[in-house]
Structure 1
Amino acid sequence: MTTVPHHPVATYRVQLTPTFTFAEVVGILDHLVDLGISHLYLSPILTAMPGSTHGYDWCPPARISPALGGEDGYRLLRAHARAVGIGIVLDIVPNHVGIGDAHHNHWWADVMRRGSASPYAEYFDLDLAFGDGLLCLPWLPVDGDLSPLRIDADAGELWYGDRYLPTADGTLRVGDDPLAVLARQAYRLVPCDSRQIGYRRFLAVNELAALRQEVPAVYDATHAWLRELAAEDLFDGVRVDHLDGLTDPVGYCRRLRTDIGDRLLYVEKGLGVGERLDPVLPVDGTTGYDQLRLIEGAFTPPSGAVELSELFQRITGISGDGDGMTARADDLRHVTLIDVFSDRVRRTTALFSATAPDVPVHKVQQAVTTFITRVRLARPDYPSLRHAALDEITQIRADNPSMSDALDVLSYAFVDRSRAPEGLGRLGEAVAAVTAKAIEDIGYHRTSRLVSANEIGCTPAAPSVNRDEFHGAQLARVEEWPLGLTTLSTHDTKRSEDVRARIAMTAQTPQRWTVLVLTLWRIMPPPDAMTGYFLLQNLIGVWPDEGRPDETVRTRMRAYARKAMREGGLVSSWTDVDEAGENAMIDWIDALQCGVASDLIAEYVAVVAPPARDESVSRKTMSLLLPGVGDVYQGTQWWSDSLTDPDNRRPVDYTRSLDDPKTRMIRTALDVRRRHPESFGPGSTYLPVIGRGRRGIHLVAFARGDADGDPRVLFAGMRLAHTFRPVSVRDDALLPLPAGLWRDAVTGADHTGQVTASALLGDRPAVVLEKL
């Protein structure tokens, strides 16, 4: 039996489905060993709602899903993985449960039957104020149509369309008027836009109800299965989904740490620019979106972003620079907060108002709303962010003097956390929810200066990251979070790492890109400029290297376009579908893929595809050697043209050859990492290596070393590859290697002193060197 490394070398994320179960994962273990993976990173394994393809809508009781192979199947996977030296990281979902089908969630069904009298009422974050003690469920269309309400006489059940509605004992008799039966229940149905929401949801997803993990009984009921697995040593780590959705993230992580011991503990959590993970959290790091931003930004030239801003404004009439985006973001946060999360505002206001009865409630609500709208911290109530939160309040006060007394209420709570602890928790959760919904879901689909920067963890207003910020963040990370994950693609990213690398090439070819866009707009103008520009960039990202898209790609683009339009809410939306508007945009996308338009696009793609692939290899190799632990999302060991889910959950063909440029470099990086464990993980060091010469800017490089600071491994890769691919121009870029003799892990060539990029790279996008 091969030993599982105590400190991970790299994780491999697998999306389990009813057609890709534990048994199928066993079948790819040898492939993962060949790749160099040390830890298998599974999507949620608990029983989920019928037909679920992601597992985040799990339902009680908490047990390993029979559809995935059940406990026996999981144990078999664990045994096989351990035998080949691969550990397992589990993805757990403490924030919410699925409620889409009450037949499969007896907790929720009981709450619907008995309301606040249900023993499970405390499990959910209910708000019964709107319905005079009744639970308001926003499951009706905007017009409030109740005509689909019916009684299933055979089953003796109340249904609304295809949704089962549990009824209290004795309230339904066959032959009753369905409306009369509904009126007897502990709930009432309301329009989806009514703002009368009786339960806290996961963001704005009606089918996912939030859980109160701060209640001991809830924690015990949702984590007993994990304790049992821990007792038998059946996993090596845990990934916590949506940490910032919990009322008390710190308290939750402390309890979870006690349950899982010294196993790996990762949290899915956003971080604002310049914001660091709170050291009070007893975790090993985030799932890696903070690293994704830094890597994406390091490969995006700021000068190109400026030129793209000019094109964006020219075709949309909207400013595409940072200030313009920031102003629009504030407006969108405010609208989203009021329209989607009014329940958060009301409940948070009530908690703060209770601590300051002399301040009018409406003024406290104004302060709460303004703070949530303007704060740029991912979640401001973490202990280490107190001063940053107070600085935000000071700035709001300077801009709104009349709000001063109400802002004092918030300030006092941040200074003295015992003053309004629940209010702070709800305020923090509301900020996280608004950021996720308003910015990442809606905003990232309705601005399109450079959509490769419209990504989780990234900042479209500032798509570039300079050298000092990049290396400074890595120096801090190696000291503070040496085991944190580094990711480039996940099940949640808006597009795959390779698609982003292709799209980002527009910032390196802004003039050529401008000619293409203006020509297309002249010969085939889109029905909506903003949406058209957004979809065009994504089309460029998935366009084949040669020729035109086949029917498979065309079908995928249609589905993606429809989803993107509904997320953005400019042409259509989930609650007010405009099929005519959607079809017009989809017809336009289809038309771009044939005739003269497709010839123009194919010509552009032929120019940017090769350097984009080079940069993708460079990015991936770098991600596996930076401080932390590299994560490989399923299928991204090869070129992946995936867009957002469910497109990125398509089956992976694991029979593909490992003799692929990207795959070869992944294997090289992980082989080197295994040979030098002292240079990675806790106690290791990081040394920036700065390129010199006229084209030194085209190199990104660093060395990794042991606790004594002795560099042992060096990475060097190309960036801004469009003008750096010919070997001849690489003579103008120099890299001063740390002292000693360095050997290329692929070619075996030795280097010392200052070397040219042409000698170091040849025609390759990246190299990994080992010190002899």
Structure 2
Amino acid sequence: MAAGSVLGSTYRLQLTPEFGFAAAAEAANYLADLGISHAYLSPVLEAVPGSPHGYDVTDHARIRGELGGAEGFRAMAERLRASGLGIVLDIVPNHMAVPADLRQNRQLWSVLREGRGSPYATWFDIDWAAQDDRMVLPILGAPLESCLGELRVEPNGGPDGEPVLRYFDHVLPLLPGTTRLPLRGLLEAQHYRVTWWRDATTELNWRRFFDIATLIGIRVEDPAVFEATHEVIVRLVTEGLVDGLRVDHPDGLADPRGYLSRLAEATGRAWVVAEKILAPQEALPADWACAGTTGYDALRVVDGLFLDPAAGDILGAEYTRFCRISGDDCSARRFADVAAEAKREIAGGPLAAEVARLARILCSVAPETPAEDVHAVLTEVLAAFPVYRAYVHPGEPPPAAAAAAIREAVDGARRHLPRRLRGLAADLGAAALGQQRPVSGAAGRAGEFVVRFQQTTGPVQAKGVEDTAGYRWSRLVSLNEVGCDPDWLGTEPAEFHATAARLAADWPHTMTTLSTHDTKRQEDVRARLAVLAEMPEEWGRRARQWHERAVTLRFFGAVAAAVDPDTEYLIWQTLVGAWPIGTERLAAYLTKAIREAKRRTSWISPDQEYEAAVLGLAARALDDPRVAESIAGFVAEIAADAVVNSLGAKLVQLTMPGVPDVYQGCEEPALSLVDPDNRRAIDYPRIRRDLMDLDTGSGAIRPADLEGGDFAAFRRAKLLVASRALRLRRARPEWFAGSYRPLWASGSASAHVVAFQRDERPITVVTRLPVGLRRRGGWQDTTLPLPAGTAWADVLSGTVHRGGAVPVTELTGGLPVALLVPTPGG
């Protein structure tokens, strides 16, 4: 094992055909210099050619050739090992790709060719009975009748030289003996049915990843499927080439608990974290065989420390005021209401096929219930479901948390249902808990409903909240993050300390993060936007000024429908948060945002006129000198406060309980938006030069530069904080594996400092709410009690402090944060 069994920190690398194993190996020395213990790689198994992310796996038996193949992986591992680095892999147990050229997925090719008689028929989660033993393939550009002339049989196109069916780039197998049939007869004879791509919404009869019909769910609950899909991964672990695993989307599995137990047994209990999205107040199931989550729960509470909880009402009032001057009234809305509406739309629209499958199962358990009533009740229960998933195991009493979540969903649904359906909602809840007595002969279907219901709540939650409501509600968009509750503003220090103490006690090796490949905005965009919560009236005034300028100059163009106020408010916040940003990046982000919102345009039905209005507003805002200068000036005004938030959040994340992950490039200012913006290439040679300058003293940071908002100074300061904290963790891992103790400041500005100590040694000190701190006249009499009897050196500045009550103004004289360690003989 390259770096030992204990993970000190990880550094996420997004592998692509342009940045493969050789490029990752080239970064080894830099990552070691930074203080990282493990490179954390995006999926490495064979994927769809050209895939920019690797989550569309086509072959579990091969390491991806475009990244360098098995030989390239081993060479990279050796290079990393030589630099003292281990490897963590991202794995995808929930699904495989349905590529256009189906020859790339040999298991699915076999199933489509041979149907239920295929040796791989148990691999995929297909409801054969729903489509008369045929699998629906929604690949056509129009209804079948319009596409018959574009379908053709191609001789010798198969893996063994057999004939295939081709539709543009799509290559499909043919049942032997059917090639001489007329085209219509040939199509009817297959074990699949090709349909219009829009039919996926209502007719799909197989589980997919969310609403993506190019990713098919696999049944890793089958031991044979688990073994085949994990053979390469397990071998890499047992050979010592890989030290840990990140499990993608465990909530999609039939039995996450069972899967993690099997994975632990197969890997000798390697370090594993699960991409589990926890709602506020929700706990990770204690019986999961893993080290914890991938860190969204930590992101929520760390970000919250740097938000002013008292600002919610004023922010809401400014949001309402902006909506009203733009022709809308959002005063009665909460994010929870917007989310419920979005989940209802998702359940009745993009995921209607999944809901219909659930309804069929429930009707078989209680056959006297009208199907339309079952569907209506299911939609409302799914819309009211408060978390991603409840964990109920057929044949076992439901855990209290699962029962509470299902009860809350049923109660919420009953409030929106007519009286005659409220009893059915209660029955559905009982069925989801495995407590509904099925009709004779339907016991198996009752157990299936328990599992399928749990596999459906997550996609509805993810698509409804993350990918729809989060783009519809713009009070403060930095809160519209995975695992966050945008109605909830800020974390009080006591709450943060309680959360950190629980992690230290229950999940000490969980992952912590501030940015991932899935975050909607990188950490420093959110840190900058957090400043708006401390000056909501000023922010509201600026946004209205920019809107008025847009109206005056007819930024919106001559389209009939103006940009809706939520989208316009999102634009102004995006410009502030990601500034400076170019037209191309901004247009790509906004196109994704408004299509995900699904209000006036969508991926399925794009409205070109509306999209032109949105992109036109954004482009003209960048082009108009008065608006661009005003935005740049405002960003400059809040830059110093944003730096305080950024450095504080980073130091807290790197030193709190857990294994900190640094997303690629986020050791320096991270101002990217949602993918694919956050997969842009990182200039590692330049960052390494910056790190060398810091190490040699030529990159000294002047407090005046930070206070003046100098970006270059911010870049050096963040790299300094990241590298010194990471190096300390690597040098003294035992210090960060032990206890957690909050330290409480005294004095008039005590609410603006957060401090804690790990294992009675390193002490973290950060500044919070800098606008309020400045308004109250600075630290004044505020002190922090350092343990007496020793001296404490700040690894960031080199300043030494004696124990006792130390003025916070001394601790934060050079930087707004400090990382203190006991000095020898102090």
Q: TM-score, normalised by structure 2?
A: 0.86
* 8 Å CA contact 2:434, 2:447 repeated in 1: no
User: How far has the Cα of 1:299 moved from its partner?
Assistant: 1.0
How big is the alpha-carbon RMSD for the aligned residues of Structure 1 and Structure 2?
2.6
User: How far has the Cα of 1:323 moved from its partner?
Assistant: 6.1
Tell whether 2:404 aligns with 1:388: yes
* 8 Å CA contact 1:367, 1:407 repeated in 2: no
* 8 Å CA contact 1:150, 1:158 repeated in 2: yes
User: How far has the Cα of 1:366 moved from its partner?
Assistant: 4.5
Aligned partners of 1:322, 1:758: CA distance in 2, in Å?
43
Q: 2:739 maps to what in 1?
A: 685
* 8 Å CA contact 2:432, 2:453 repeated in 1: no
Residues 379 and 142 from structure 1, CA distance in 2 versus in 1: closer, same or farther, beyond 3 angstroms?
A: farther
Residues 442 and 49 from structure 1, CA distance in 2 versus in 1: closer, same or farther, beyond 3 angstroms?
A: same
1:541 to 577, 580, 584: 577
How many aligned residue pairs are there? 755
1:257 to 264, 273, 283: 264
Residues 116 and 329 from structure 1, CA distance in 2 versus in 1: closer, same or farther, beyond 3 angstroms?
A: same
Q: 1:760 maps to what in 2?
A: 811
* 8 Å CA contact 1:127, 1:197 repeated in 2: no
Q: Secondary structure at the match of 2:508?
A: coil
Q: Secondary structure at the match of 1:189?
A: strand
Q: 1:84 maps to what in 2?
A: 83
Residues 394 and 571 from structure 1, CA distance in 2 versus in 1: closer, same or farther, beyond 3 angstroms?
A: closer
User: How far has the Cα of 1:255 moved from its partner?
Assistant: 0.5
Q: 2:712 maps to what in 1?
A: none
Q: Secondary structure at the match of 1:123?
A: coil
Tell whether 2:738 aligns with 1:733: no
Q: 2:603 maps to what in 1?
A: 574
Residues 409 and 507 from structure 1, CA distance in 2 versus in 1: closer, same or farther, beyond 3 angstroms?
A: closer
Tell whether 2:226 aligns with 1:209: no
Give 1:533's aligned amino acid. Answer: Y
Q: 1:750 maps to what in 2?
A: 801
1:412-451 aligned within 5 A: 414=433, 420-451=446-477
Q: Secondary structure at the match of 1:377?
A: coil
Aligned partners of 1:283, 1:428: CA distance in 2, in Å?
20
Give 1:510's aligned amino acid. Answer: P
* 8 Å CA contact 1:140, 1:146 repeated in 2: no
Aligned partners of 2:237, 2:8: CA distance in 1, in Å?
22
1:585 to 590, 608, 614: 614
With 379-388 and 558-567 compared, the bigger mean Cα shift is at 379-388
Tell whether 2:505 aligns with 1:479: yes
Residues 540 and 71 from structure 1, CA distance in 2 versus in 1: closer, same or farther, beyond 3 angstroms?
A: same
User: How far has the Cα of 1:442 moved from its partner?
Assistant: 1.2
* 8 Å CA contact 2:138, 2:196 repeated in 1: yes
* 8 Å CA contact 1:381, 1:425 repeated in 2: no
User: How far has the Cα of 1:141 moved from its partner?
Assistant: 5.0
Tell whether 2:520 aligns with 1:513: no
Q: 1:708 maps to what in 2?
A: none
* 8 Å CA contact 2:514, 2:522 repeated in 1: yes
1:224-239 aligned within 5 A: 224-239=231-246
Q: Secondary structure at the match of 2:165?
A: strand
Aligned partners of 1:691, 1:172: CA distance in 2, in Å?
80
Give 1:9's aligned amino acid. Answer: G
Aligned partners of 2:770, 2:812: CA distance in 1, in Å?
13
Q: 1:456 maps to what in 2?
A: 482
Residues 57 and 508 from structure 1, CA distance in 2 versus in 1: closer, same or farther, beyond 3 angstroms?
A: same
* 8 Å CA contact 1:131, 1:188 repeated in 2: no
* 8 Å CA contact 2:292, 2:509 repeated in 1: yes
Q: Secondary structure at the match of 1:192?
A: helix
Q: Secondary structure at the match of 2:251?
A: helix
Aligned partners of 1:591, 1:237: CA distance in 2, in Å?
48
Residues 554 and 412 from structure 1, CA distance in 2 versus in 1: closer, same or farther, beyond 3 angstroms?
A: closer
Tell whether 2:349 aligns with 1:339: yes
1:124-163 aligned within 5 A: 124-141=124-141, 146-147=146-147, 149-151=150-152, 157-163=164-170
1:164-313 aligned within 5 A: 164-172=171-179, 181-185=186-190, 186-192=192-198, 194-313=201-320
Aligned partners of 1:152, 1:563: CA distance in 2, in Å?
37
Residues 354 and 153 from structure 1, CA distance in 2 versus in 1: closer, same or farther, beyond 3 angstroms?
A: closer
* 8 Å CA contact 1:728, 1:758 repeated in 2: no
Aligned partners of 1:490, 1:240: CA distance in 2, in Å?
14
Give 2:315's aligned amino acid. Answer: L
Residues 696 and 162 from structure 1, CA distance in 2 versus in 1: closer, same or farther, beyond 3 angstroms?
A: same
User: How far has the Cα of 1:353 moved from its partner?
Assistant: 4.6
Residues 404-431 of structure 1, C-alpha deviations (whole Å, 9 max, x = no match): 3552453365266998433222111111
Give 2:782's aligned amino acid. Answer: A
* 8 Å CA contact 2:811, 2:818 repeated in 1: yes
Aligned partners of 2:106, 2:169: CA distance in 1, in Å?
18
User: How far has the Cα of 1:138 moved from its partner?
Assistant: 2.9
Give 1:534's aligned amino acid. Answer: L
* 8 Å CA contact 2:165, 2:171 repeated in 1: yes
Give 2:126's aligned amino acid. Answer: L
With 503-512 and 136-145 compared, the bigger mean Cα shift is at 136-145
Q: 1:614 maps to what in 2?
A: 644
User: How far has the Cα of 1:200 moved from its partner?
Assistant: 1.1
Aligned partners of 1:260, 1:696: CA distance in 2, in Å?
47
1:644-659 aligned within 5 A: 644-656=674-686, 657-658=690-691, 659=694
Give 1:112's aligned amino acid. Answer: L
Q: 1:604 maps to what in 2?
A: 634
Q: Secondary structure at the match of 2:719?
A: helix
With 653-662 and 748-757 compared, the bigger mean Cα shift is at 748-757
Q: Secondary structure at the match of 2:310?
A: helix
1:608-647 aligned within 5 A: 608-647=638-677
* 8 Å CA contact 1:278, 1:384 repeated in 2: no
1:555 to 581, 584, 595: 584
User: How far has the Cα of 1:167 moved from its partner?
Assistant: 2.8
Q: Secondary structure at the match of 1:597?
A: helix
* 8 Å CA contact 2:138, 2:195 repeated in 1: yes
* 8 Å CA contact 1:386, 1:415 repeated in 2: no
* 8 Å CA contact 1:393, 1:407 repeated in 2: no
* 8 Å CA contact 1:96, 1:211 repeated in 2: yes
Residues 468 and 727 from structure 1, CA distance in 2 versus in 1: closer, same or farther, beyond 3 angstroms?
A: closer
User: How far has the Cα of 1:583 moved from its partner?
Assistant: 1.8
Residues 34 and 9 from structure 1, CA distance in 2 versus in 1: closer, same or farther, beyond 3 angstroms?
A: same
Aligned partners of 1:602, 1:397: CA distance in 2, in Å?
47
With 627-636 and 560-569 compared, the bigger mean Cα shift is at 560-569
* 8 Å CA contact 1:237, 1:263 repeated in 2: yes
Give 1:689's aligned amino acid. Answer: L
Aligned partners of 1:523, 1:757: CA distance in 2, in Å?
43
Residues 555-579 of structure 1, C-alpha deviations (whole Å, 9 max, x = no match): 1111111111211112321101122
Q: 2:395 maps to what in 1?
A: none
Q: Secondary structure at the match of 1:151?
A: strand
Tell whether 2:79 aligns with 1:105: no
Residues 712-731 of structure 1, C-alpha deviations (whole Å, 9 max, x = no match): 11101111123446997123
Aligned partners of 1:73, 1:92: CA distance in 2, in Å?
18
Q: Secondary structure at the match of 2:230?
A: helix
Aligned partners of 1:28, 1:572: CA distance in 2, in Å?
41
With 379-388 and 54-63 compared, the bigger mean Cα shift is at 379-388
Residues 309-341 of structure 1, C-alpha deviations (whole Å, 9 max, x = no match): 112222225676896221221121111112122
* 8 Å CA contact 2:247, 2:274 repeated in 1: yes
* 8 Å CA contact 2:668, 2:718 repeated in 1: yes
* 8 Å CA contact 2:143, 2:196 repeated in 1: no
User: How far has the Cα of 1:232 moved from its partner?
Assistant: 1.7
Q: 2:439 maps to what in 1?
A: none
With 194-203 and 646-655 compared, the bigger mean Cα shift is at 194-203
Aligned partners of 1:619, 1:357: CA distance in 2, in Å?
55
User: How far has the Cα of 1:110 moved from its partner?
Assistant: 2.4
Give 1:307's aligned amino acid. Answer: I
User: How far has the Cα of 1:73 moved from its partner?
Assistant: 1.4
